[in-house]
Amino acid sequence: MAITGVKTLVVNAEMRNWIFVKIETDQDGLFGWGEASLNWKTRAVTGAVEDLAPLILGRDPRDIEQIVRVLKKHSYYRLGIIGATAISGIEHALWDIFGKSVGLPVWRLLGGQTRDKVRVYTHLGLGDMKSVYETFDPGALRDKALAVVEKGYDALKVVFIPYSGHSVGIGARRHVGRLMKTLREAVGDDVDIMIDFHGRPASTAVALQFIEELAPYGPMFCEEPVQPGDTEALRIVTERAGCPIASGERLVGFEEFEPLFRQNALHIIQPDLNHTGGILEGKRIAAAADQAMMGVAPHNPNGPIAGAAALHFDVATPNFVIQEEMSGAVPWYDDVVRVPMRRTGSYWAVPEAPGLGVEIDEREAAKHPFVPEVFHTKGAVLPDGTIVDW
């Protein structure tokens, strides 16, 4: 068996572009789908896939470890998030081909089943970006949270940490506390709440001041309380926080996660299988996290194939905790793609179809061509004009 073609298909899903990767083989009707979506980097990633494709033409698609090694080592320059995302999309498609070729779901090839169902959560607003990032009013927060619970979810994530510098006033801190109190009273104790800081605090002090307001209401975790890459700062926050701390969505490959394990800098890691190098790299990261007594809650606000890849990873990963998901993000979702994710309440069922279980209607997909994504960073400016992290 040999790879004969590597193509990309971009689908604009309103709030982001999905970048699908299709790998064709010399076996009649055998091909695989992957995903390499990266917000605001669509043209860069599709170009990277095109640049990497010649390295794998003619190779056996089932030699996944070897192909990923070729893509990393024969690229010469170290790959950042764009290159790693391109590789992730290619790698997903290779697993899809491998599973189809032997008639088994991908999770079987990853070591088999470790759970009977996969717990998931979604965002405030059910994927509407304005709701996710601009809900700072207690009344709107309560109503939108209840709408998520009415859809059957028993876990949701919110982003209501204000844009911050190196210090924060008591009024802003107390407003965050009021928002969390409103949210907890609205959904009750049986619904888990996650708060995404988005790396907005510019100091450990500010991060801890916000966490002090949140911790009494029992968050499942506070996510990315400081910018990625500063392991020592993250360790300080984790040691002093009164609740679980999670991070990792912007880290690339095992080498960027390794210091977190060595310094016990987190409680829960959040690799994005769409960005960190693929499913196999995710399994390496998860195994090391398990040894460090950390759970895994994969990041995934991406498209449907990324969701399918995450589902198979979750089924086969013992220290999995909960999965972020964005199914049905647009009204025509099911016209373009059929996926294996089937939700009952706040759980996905274990899929049985071969490969990733994804089918793309390329004719329908073509009705939603690339459109430049909208930047949501307008508010990331302090009153004095200082630019801060979004």
Task: Quick: pLDDT tens for 114-147.
Answer: 999 999 999 987 766 666 666 789 999 999 999 9
CATH 3.20.20.120 positions along the chain are 108-355
d(CA 212, CA 146): 25
Contact 206, 166 (CB under 8 A): yes
Task: Please pick, among 198, 267, 275, 312, the residue that the annotation labels catalytic.
Answer: 198
Q: Are 323 and 305 in contact (CB under 8 A)?
A: no
State yes or no: is 299 an active-site residue.
yes
Q: Which residues of the chain, if any, have pLDDT below 50?
A: none
Instruction: Write down the pLDDT at residue 127.
Output: 66
Residues 6+ apart with CB under 8 A from 215: 241, 242, 243
| pLDDT tens, residue by residue, 179-189 | 999 999 999 99
pLDDT the model gives residue 131: 61
Identify the bridge partners of residue 200 per DSSP, sorted by sequence position. Answer: none
What are the pLDDT digits (tens) for 154-201? 999 999 999 998 999 999 999 999 999 999 999 999 999 999 999 999
Give rounded-to-5 percent helix, strand, coil for the chain. Answer: 40, 15, 45
From 92, 123, 275, 299, the catalytic residue: 299
Is the domain spanning 108-355 CATH 1.10.760.10? The answer is no
CATH 3.30.390.10, the chain: domain bounds: 3-104
Q: Are 253 and 273 in contact, with CB atoms under 8 Å apart?
A: no
Identify the pLDDT of residue 132: 66
Residue written as tokens 């972020």?
324
Task: Sort 255 into a burial class: Cβ within 10 Å, 0-12 / 13-18 / 19+.
Answer: exposed
Q: Report the CATH number of the 3-104 domain.
A: 3.30.390.10
Beta bridge partners of 111: none
Closest listed residue to residue 229, CA positions, set 264, 199, 208, 194: 199
Helix, strand, or coil (residue 141): helix
Question: What's the full length of the chain, in residues?
Answer: 390
Provide the Cα torsion 308, 46, 16, 279; round to 10°. Answer: 30
Q: What are phi and psi of 347, to 5 degrees?
A: -135, 145
Strand locations in the chain, DSSP E?
3-12, 17-25, 31-35, 117-123, 155-158, 192-196, 221-223, 245-247, 268-269, 295-296, 323-324, 337-338, 343-344, 347-349, 359-360
What pLDDT, on the 0 to 100 scale, is given for residue 267?
A: 98
Looking at residue 272, its pLDDT comes to 98
d(CA 373, CA 12): 9
CA dist 315 and 267 (Å) reads 20
Catalytic: 198? Answer: yes
Identify the pLDDT of residue 128.
66
